[in-house]
A and B are shown apart, each in its own frame.
Chain A
Amino acid sequence: MNEKKRLPFGMGRLGTKWWVLVGVSLTLVTRGIIAYSQQASEGEVVTGMRDIGPMGGAAWGLYIVFVVYFVGISFTGICLASLIRLLNLKVLRPIVRPAEVMTVIALILGALAILADVGQPGRAFLMLLKYARPQSPFFGTFAMVISGYLFGSLVYLYLHGRPDAAVLAKRPGLLQRFHRWWAAGYGDTPPERARRVRSSFWLSVALLPLLITATSTLGFVFGLQGGRPGWFGSLQAPGFVVMAGLSGVGVLILIAAGLRQALGEKERLNLELFRWLADFLLVLLAGYLYFLVVEWLTNSYAAGPSESLVSQAILAGENAWIFWGSVAFLTLPAFLLLLQRLRGRVSLPLIVACGVMVNLAAIAKRFLIVVPSQTHGMLLPYSTGSYTPSLVEWEIVIGLVGLGGLLFALFVKGFPILELDRDYLGGTK
């Protein structure tokens, strides 16, 4: 009887919606690959990036904006997964695996965005391993985040998936060999369970400080550059951590809502879970808006001439629409979520809309952190520069987003995206 039972959560069944998602993702990935081949063959002249100063451009553009964005998303995924396990937050338990998968995929995308940014990825990779300074924030971001953090997250996902893999490995089918490999002999004996609890605890304990350090280091890449007006400041690192939390929780809300709709899992992915996520979002929004006001006050009250030029470009210049748009997409969700909290109701469409808005705001804020400080407020006598991402850059970045969708769609069909119930297939998980 059990043998005939379907695989859980739509695994192995390829419906129309799934094919549409895969088709769209593959199209985006293909466009991205074509754009990248153009960049690889013709050089970075096909991008909108140019040297700072003499060429009046920005050396870091859309790729670095999305490196920061992807790493931010990954931070929240594994951070939430660790906290849910450490604090045993049962309401949020169903989103543990989606959060882990989100982290791994976002880190892969972050690594690819870095490779897209450097002219010769192979050479950069070799030089990084041979000559980099482990003390440098650049190394911390581009090597430790991607290697240590990605590796740690993969280990976390792998070990926590073993019990489910062991249950599924008993079922004959195309995926049986894969599940057997993943289970790696897991038998759910009391000693194995005890080991799992211990390793899970220590992994969470090891990952959490690494996450905070890695994301802060990303902020230090900007915040420690004293010669670049607009970047130097002690708020960059905590600001990066809070913004990472915001964008990650936003994406997690979208993923959870998508899974709830696609899998019909309204009981496990219930409104109480979304209320928790909305509350997280509200707290993080309040924190980030506070940072925003403090930063704005500091820059407008006592800034030097160069800092003032950068502030002017952001508040009233060519980037003003991005800044005020991001402010709107941060304050509106905060207001709506607060209103919802005060009324004691939970509206899923509203929470999803807030998730979308904070992510648009996060991308806009990353752009404002990365770009204007390179084009405005030069300390040397160079004129003001400008940067507009080229079509090639957009196609590569959108291709990366498509790759993320594709990887997620493939994972969902090969492994349970939600943790299995204890009694699934008579297992004793």
Chain B
Amino acid sequence: MNRTAIAIWMVVAGFSLQFFAYFRWAAPLGAPTSPAFSDPRIPYAPAAFIFGVMLVFLSAVVYELQGGGEGESDG
């Protein structure tokens, strides 16, 4: 897989993680009518969200560094 594909994959994965962590795994949105609105539906959902943000930025490093070296083709 070339660097561009890996970087795009990481960006998509990062945003997907953020989306799922925000809307599906964290405590549900809405009026807090029961304790279910207090805790995340999956533990460490906030950590997944943060990891998603980091993954997006990390894609830039992978894009520049993956394969490294002089004379590397621009995939």
Interface size on B, residues (CB 8 A): 32
| Interface residue? B56 (CB, 8 A) | yes
Q: Which of B27, B39, B73 contacts A191 (CB 8 A)?
A: B73
Known: A196-B64, A199-B63. A133 touches B46 (CB 8 A): yes
Residues of B within 8 A of A147 (CB): 50, 53-54
CA distance A133 to B65 in the complex (A): 34
Residues of A within 8 A of B60 (CB): 155, 159, 199, 202-203
Q: Quick check: A134 and B22 within 8 Å, CB to CB?
A: yes
Annotate B20-60 by CB proximity to A: 1 below 8 A, 0 otherwise: 01100011010000000001100111110110011011101
Q: Quick check: B63 and A195 within 8 Å, CB to CB?
A: yes
Of all chain A residues, the one with the shortest Cβ separation from B50 is: A147
Q: Quick check: B70 and A195 within 8 Å, CB to CB?
A: no
| Interface residue? A162 (CB, 8 A) | yes
| Interface residue? B61 (CB, 8 A) | yes
Annotate A110-152 by CB proximity to B: 1 below 8 A, 0 otherwise: 0000000000000000001111111100010001100110011
Interface residue SS majority, chain B: helix
Residues of B within 8 A of A139 (CB): 46
Known: A129-B46, A139-B46, A199-B64. A206 touches B57 (CB 8 A): yes
CA distance A363 to B62 in the complex (A): 39
Residues of A within 8 A of B39 (CB): 131
CA distance A130 to B73 in the complex (A): 42
Residues of A participating in the B interface, judged by any CB pair closer than 8 Å = 128-135, 139, 143-144, 147-148, 151-152, 155, 158-159, 162, 184-185, 187, 189, 191-192, 194-196, 198-199, 202-203, 206
16 A-B residue pairs with Cβ-Cβ distance under 8 Å, sorted by A, are A131-B40, A132-B46, A133-B46, A135-B27, A143-B49, A151-B57, A159-B60, A159-B61, A187-B69, A189-B70, A189-B72, A194-B74, A195-B3, A195-B64, A199-B60, A202-B60
8 additional contacts (CB under 8 A) given A185-B69, A189-B70: A133-B40, A134-B22, A135-B22, A147-B54, A151-B54, A155-B60, A185-B65, A198-B63
- Across chains A and B, which 9 residue pairs bring their CB atoms closest together, nearest first? A187-B70, A148-B53, A191-B74, A185-B68, A132-B46, A129-B47, A152-B57, A147-B50, A134-B49
